[in-house]
Amino acid sequence: MAKLGILFPGQGAQYPGMGHGWGRVHENAPRLLEEASVILGYDLAAILVCEDGRLDDTLYAQPATVVASLMAFASLTEATAVHPAAFAGFSLGEYTALAASKAFSTSDVITLVKTRAEAMREAATEKPGAMCAVIGLSPEVVDAICQAASVNGGFVTAANFNCPGQIVLSGDAQAIASAIELARTAGAKRCVALNVSGAFHSPFMQKAADRMTVALQPIQVQSPSAPVYANVTARPYGQNDWKSLLPRQMVSPVLFERTIGNMIADGITHFLEIGPGMVLSGFVRKISLDHPIVNLERPEQLEHVKGWLHEYGFYK
């Protein structure tokens, strides 16, 4: 039996103009923008189209990416009444998954993401860091590189396990620079320094994680419409896991490759990435060529996605 998994992108996928046009497809899209703007305290619609660099600021990138993804998801579900069998998100995208699955209300998710963005930006300012992507080395070799680079007070750790042969490292700038040189010496195909303001998914974010622990306490959690897979465990959230795993996510690696593997093992046969960019689609194809995936980020793609869903029996 075919089962559909929905994936939502994280920070880094954002670009000016994302989310544009969904208001012409789904009447709730403008309402979502208005609701988000009230919660955030600024005009999110203006941020989505700005080209002045604000979208690259964590403070704006996180809420904008979540809302753009939710507008696309709402438009799809209104047009198709599709029922996903599972949800997952990459880092920030996990919050989008929580809203899409109705585990958390949309307003609560926007409120939490506002806090998350502020907390991560503050932590990155107080304790600057860096990140890099290492291509073509095994996890064992990368672990040895992290240990070798974490000397003389430096620190570097694996932050994202994206797909076979692609691991992102996080830590202080000097240790990251050392890790890049060590990775090249070890035969890495590529080493790419990432344009980020902090050492995300590392202990450098502990203060932000502590703030999220407090922010999550009053949130009401409902049973999700389908399992939501956690970045920290690569397994579906349990009934009482939400408020402990979401703060841990900020200081722990994103186990995306393992998550997709577990979703496949649990019966997911097809994937749909919803939101800006196609990064997760690329990761899934590197994890498995036997599990079709399509992405939905712009309104003009909706008819194609509807046809794809119909072809595989998800939409009649």
Q: Write the DSSP string, 223-255.
A: --SS-EE-TTTSSBPPTT-HHHHHHHHTTS-B-
User: In 10 A of CB 245, how many CB atoms?
Assistant: 18
Average pLDDT over residues 71-76: 94
Element (H, E) at 296: strand 293-296
Here the tokens at position 43 are 């005009």
DSSP H helices in the chain: 22-25, 28-40, 44-49, 58-80, 93-100, 106-126, 139-149, 173-185, 206-216, 242-249, 256-265, 279-287, 302-311
- The pair of three-digit structure tokens given for residue 36, joined into one six-digit string: 């988000």
Whether 55 contacts 15, CB under 8 Å: yes
Q: Which CATH superfamily is domain 4-125+203-311 in?
A: Malonyl-Coenzyme A Acyl Carrier Protein, domain 2 (3.40.366.10)
Confidence of residue 239 (pLDDT cuts 50, 70, 90): confident
Q: Is the pLDDT of residue 153 over 90?
A: no
Nearest to 10 by CA among 103, 101, 89: 89
Catalytically annotated residue among 26, 170, 178, 201: 201
Q: Is 142 exposed, middle or buried (0-12, 13-18, 19+ CB in 10 A)?
A: buried
Is 26 among the residues known to form the active site?
A: no
pLDDT in tens, 183-211: 999 999 999 988 888 999 999 999 999 99
Confidence class for position 224, pLDDT limits 50, 70, 90: very high
pLDDT at 244: 94
Name the least confident of 21-30, 96-105, 302-311.
Answer: 21-30
pLDDT band of 17, cuts 50, 70, 90:
very high
User: 39-43 long-range contacts, Cβ below 8 Å, gap at least 24?
Assistant: 39/107, 39/110, 39/111, 39/114, 40/110, 40/114
pLDDT grade for 68, boundaries at 50, 70 and 90:
very high
pLDDT for residue 30: 87
Average pLDDT for 104-116: 97
Residue 170, Cβ neighbours under 10 Å: how many?
30
φ, ψ dihedrals at 80, nearest 5°: -125, -20
- Is residue 102 classed as helix, strand or coil in its secondary structure? coil
Q: Over range 51-58, report the average pLDDT.
A: 90
Counting Cα atoms < 13 Å in the Cβ hemisphere of 294 gives: 15
Q: What gap in Å lies between CA 74 and CA 59, rounded to an integer?
A: 24
Distance of CA 28 to the CA centre of its chain: 23
Quickly name the fold that domain 129-193 has: Alpha-Beta Plaits (3.30.70)
Helices 93-100, 58-80: axis angle to 10 degrees equals 30
The verdict on whether 75 is a catalytic residue reads: no
Residue 26 confidence (pLDDT):
78
In tens, the pLDDT along 257-266 reads: 999 999 999 9
Tell me which of 91, 178, 202, 252 is the catalytic residue.
Answer: 91
Same fold, 4-125+203-311 and 129-193: no
- The predicted model gives 261-280 an average pLDDT of 97
Q: How far apart are CA 172 and CA 181, in angstroms?
A: 15
Query: Could you state, in order of their start, the residue ranges of all structural domains in the chain?
Result: 4-125+203-311, 129-193
Cβ-in-10-Å burial (0-12, 13-18, 19+) of 235 comes to: middle
